[in-house]
Amino acid sequence: MPARLVWIAAALALACAAFLGLGLRGDPGFALSLRAPRLAALLLVGAAIGCATVMFQTIAGNRILTPSIMGFDALFGLLQTGLVFALGGFGVATMAPQLRFALEAGLLMGGALLLFGTLLGGRRVDLHRMILTGIVCGVLFRSLSGFVARMIDPNEYAIVQGSSFARFNAVPIELIAIAALLSLLALAVAWRLRHRLDVMALGRDHAVSLGVDHRRTLMLALATIAALVSVSTALVGPVTFFGLLVSALAHLAMRDHRHAVLMPAAALIAGLVLVAGQTVIERLLGWSLTLSVIVEFAGGLLFLVLILRRPAP
Amino acid sequence: MIEIRDVAHRAGPARILSDITLDIPRGGVTALIGPNGAGKSTLLSLVARLEPLQQGRITVDGRDVGRTPTDRLARHLSILRQDTGLAARLTVRDLVGFGRYPHHKGRPGPADRAAIADAIAAFDLEPLADRFTDTLSGGQRQRALVAMTWAQGTDYVLLDEPLNNLDMAHARALMLRLRDMAATGRTVVVVLHEVNYAAAHADHVVAMKDGRVARTGPAAEVLTGATLSRLFDSPVEMAEIGGRSFALHHG
């Protein structure tokens, strides 16, 4: 196991300890029972987004694309608006969280498979066409949800808005068990794909010549990515640039092409960013900031840097 | 033996290959020659299942390339396409190591490591072994890719214009490596632009034009002034210099 992975894991363990232990007052057992499930959710979301982004970038053959940039967060927005439109704000707000989670995760997964499948399913992956299609899809989803939003009650629209941003402060605890189960299943599939992903990173022709069933692996990876991203989005809401940030950090820290190293690194780094960030905000800054805003700001900056610095392909 | 039967291929309305029926013998070096757009690369891609077969049948030692599981085929047949970019950032050693993937599926053993070391030595890549592929010149990268294909250790090796970007010395060294490969009983099928390399190193030649096989046979029979002139629609003379035949087509 590479030494850097151990260091990252140690840093994450430290951050977890700080998250659980800092500023404990009164009955520690009670406080821990509140904090532990939130910690689990942060780690889960980190692992899901980190792995999904690394996988997505490998099969897309590009380090700038992420599922979110390809229109996924716009799809989530459309889904939220559509749900409120169909069921009414009251209906959505009073819906059993488990049911809402299942509905959201299911619809998102279907949508993600359709979206990414169309984008990546062609025999030749044309990057420019793919980015353009992603952007066009994103605009389409945003316009559609804007259109639907105009037809619903402004008060109900507040419910849409509330759920359209990532919320790391208040994770729905009752959903963590089911989200963990689904994510761990998907992560297990991702781990099984690790060697094939290494080969896929060489490009389609090399992968076929080396005996990797390209189409099957592509579809399997896409389904896994869709599951990971959908579950984490349904749990905490959409994060646009977080995956990009984490995947870039993982590649930078490990400098290794093996997914057996990259995926754990991305998962650990994502967990570290979320847990350490949330600890600082909750314990040191007294909830005066929102983690998703900071992460998106840093990730957005990185996105610009990557685009500007990128040599011609 | 590679048996190609009644293969036709279209790209949209354009007819790329028509009625190709061809046997490529087992063992030796077979060169595919012909003018640009003759369909050489497409034929090679079809044999290596990089493109789905639209019509006809191709078997390699009796294995139908459309039906044989792709991972099993990868232990018998390898292909290197021309100008294949590399998406990933790898060291030369890691890249060459991928050639062993069909054999170890991600868990390399001592035999795989030995094969990788052999391939690196065979293509003079030792000084470059720890360099990243994106810091190499086109010719160095081409050598690393050929070394990867070599390391795959398949009975059949298909190479599409492997001499691209290579200087005189490395082009010659590569052709000599291909001869070594053929000498150990492996079959090398190579698309060549420069007919002189075919004249010097190939045992069999398949001449293609306009998506059809124009001539096929032992190199000495196919590589005649008259055949080459007709093939390329340009005057070519064959000459013997120092006991070797040369195609004079420049100047």
Q: Output the pLDDT for position A313.
A: 40
Q: Do A257 and B152 touch (CB under 8 A)?
A: no
Residue of higher predicted confidence among B31 and A151: B31
CA-based nearest residue to B121, from B100, B98, B150: B150
In a domain, B243, yes or no: no
In a domain, B104, yes or no: yes
Is residue B31 scored above 80 in pLDDT?
A: yes
Residue of higher predicted confidence among A157 and B44: B44
In a domain, B238, yes or no: no
Number of domains in chain A: 1
Going from the C-alpha of B133 to that of each of A46, B82, B145, the distances in angstroms are 31, 16, 10
In a domain, B112, yes or no: yes
Q: How far apart are CA B181 and CA B150, in angstroms?
A: 9
Q: What is the mean pLDDT of residues B38-42?
A: 92
Dihedral of the alpha carbons of A284, A288, A290, A293, in degrees to the nearest 10: -110
Q: Do the beta carbons of residue B205 and residue B33 sit within 8 Å?
A: yes
* B139 phi/psi in degrees, rounded to 5: -70, -40
Lowest mean pLDDT among A69-78, A261-270, B17-26, B57-66: A69-78
Chain B interface disruption, residue of A209, A210, A258, most B CBs within 10 A:
A209
Q: How far apart are CA A9 and CA A12, in angstroms?
A: 5
Q: Output the pLDDT for position A312.
A: 41
Q: Do the beta carbons of residue B39 and residue B211 sit within 8 Å?
A: yes
Lowest mean pLDDT among A165-169, A239-243, B175-179, B196-200: A165-169
* Chain A, chain B: beta-carbon pairs less than 8 Å apart: 68
Tell me the per-residue pLDDT of A92-148, one tens digit each, with 9 for 90 and over.
Answer: 777 788 888 888 888 888 887 777 777 666 555 566 676 677 788 888 988 998 888
Q: How far apart are CA B222 and CA B226, in angstroms?
A: 9
Query: Dmax over Cα atoms in chain B, in whole Å?
Result: 54
Query: If you search the block for the tokens 């008259």, which residue do you land on?
Result: B226
**Structural domain of residue A287, as residue ranges?**
3-309
Q: What is the mean pLDDT of residues B210-237?
A: 91
Q: Do the beta carbons of residue B5 and residue B58 sit within 8 Å?
A: yes
**Residues forming a β-bridge with B134:** none
**Structural domain of residue B8, as residue ranges?**
2-218
Q: Which amino acid belongs to residue B157?
A: V
Q: How far apart are CA A136 and CA A149, in angstroms?
A: 20
Rg (CA), chain A: 19
Task: List CB contacts (< 8 A) between A208 and chain B.
Answer: 48-50, 70
In a domain, B249, yes or no: no
Dihedral of the alpha carbons of A161, A79, A109, A93, in degrees to the nearest 10: 60
Q: Output the pLDDT for position A119.
A: 66
Query: Which chain A residue has the Cα nearest residue B159?
Result: A209
Q: Output the pLDDT for position B87.
A: 66
Q: How confident is the model at residue B137 (pLDDT cuts 50, 70, 90)?
A: confident
Q: What's the distance, Cα to Cα, between the start and end of chain A in Å?
A: 32
Q: How far apart are CA A42 and CA B170, in angstroms?
A: 54
Q: Which amino acid belongs to residue B173?
A: A
Percent of chain B with pLDDT over 90: 62
* A66 phi/psi in degrees, rounded to 5: -135, 165
Q: Which CATH number covers residue A161?
A: 1.10.3470.10
In a domain, B166, yes or no: yes
Q: Token pair of A88, please?
A: 């009414």
CA-based nearest residue to B245, from B222, B229, B213: B222
Query: Dmax over Cα atoms in chain A, in whole Å?
Result: 63
Q: What is the mean pLDDT of residues A190-202?
A: 93
Q: Which CATH number covers residue B126?
A: 3.40.50.300
B53-69 core/surface letters (b: 16 or more CB in 10 A; e: else) = beebebbbeeeebeebe
Q: What is the mean pLDDT of residues B79-93?
A: 80
Q: Do the beta carbons of residue B144 and residue B95 sit within 8 Å?
A: yes
Going from the C-alpha of A174 to that of each of A29, A177, B99, B208, the distances in angstroms are 19, 7, 48, 68
In a domain, B240, yes or no: no
List the single residue in A201, A205, A257 with the smallest CB-CB distance to B50. A205
A123 to chain B nearest CA, in Å? Answer: 9
User: What average pLDDT does chain B have?
Assistant: 90
Q: How far apart are CA A88 and CA A112, in angstroms?
A: 25
List the single residue in A196, A205, A211 with the smallest CB-CB distance to B74. A211
Task: List CB contacts (< 8 A) between A206 and chain B.
Answer: 84, 86, 98
The DSSP letter of residue A164 is S
Task: List CB contacts (< 8 A) between B87 and chain A.
Answer: 61-62, 201-203
Which H/E stretch holds residue B32? strand B28-33
Q: How far apart are CA B193 and CA B179, in angstroms?
A: 18
Number of domains in chain B: 1
In a domain, B119, yes or no: yes
Q: Token pair of A155, please?
A: 């008060």
